[in-house]
Amino acid sequence: MLYKYWRVSERSLNALSEGMLYAQHFTRFNDPFECGAHFVAGQIDPETEPERFAAMIRAWGFDDPEAAPLEDAEGYFEQFESYNLEMSLPGVRICCFASEVDNLLMWSHYGDGLRGFCVEFDEAIISATIAKLAGFPFITDVTYADTPPSVDGMVLGVLDDQVDYAYMCFHEEKNDFWLEEAKRLEGEIQSLFRKGFATKPLAWSYEQERRLIVQTDQHDMEPLTIQFPPEAVKSIILGELMSPEDRAQIEQIAGSYPAASIRTARRELFTYKLKIG
């Protein structure tokens, strides 16, 4: 399941009533280190950058660099020198979720101190919904690290080219091996995107965040709106300190989600825990 915490506002109530999620430009978030990976690009020197060269060879499909046709490598790799994942940043849109419904800090920081609410989404339905979007959308766990990761644009270029090659072979040969290979390579591309767009400092690890990431052709700062079907909402959890007026508004909106239950997040007596029920 995916959980989305909201404080009660005109924007959050509109999003719930209209069945909308907003995937934001990374600069809209409150972490100043957001998407702060070390984006590597440009020509590679096998002598001084052996690890980077080995990563390129693996992306090309050779686990052992000595087995690769090195005489062809320089000419093949040259075409990817302009690849830089950092150039994708303006078009990347991110929608943030939590993985826990009873996280005290999430309720405090994003759920307005139990005055807000949390929507429980069915991840399978959300995944099926975003699969219709262009831009290689996927949902991933956020990684928390001491230092920013390095992301090599040339490796991305090779993987992208190899995906195209695998799909071409599949369409020509109708051999499932090539389809499986294309999916495997797409997973490698997702891993690079995860490093670039879903890695945060360890200080944020309390969030246990999950992200929906999609590449768009937008060149502005506006969010991407994603319409989700009513059945995607499994429950709406209201904070126990929510005002009666806000509770009444949300309960009315909840009528649009027949599969969703209304629950309440309450403080358990004599503990620092929440009870959801």
Distant-in-sequence, close-in-space partners of 74: CB < 8 Å, separation ≥ 6:
none
**CA angle centred on 196, ends 100 and 29, rounded to 5°:** 55
Q: What is the pLDDT of residues 233-258, one digit of tens each?
A: 999 999 999 999 999 999 999 999 99
Residue 131 to residue 196: CA distance in whole angstroms:
21
Q: What is the pLDDT of residues 91-142, one digit of tens each?
A: 999 999 999 999 999 999 999 999 999 999 999 999 999 999 988 899 999 9
What are the tens digits of pLDDT across the range 25-39? 999 999 999 999 999
Q: How many helices, marked H, and strands, marked E, lie in the chain? A: 8, 14
| Separation of alpha carbons 63 and 79, rounded Å | 21
Q: What is the DSSP string of 154-185?
A: HHHHHHHHHHHHHHHHHHHH--HHHHHHHHHH
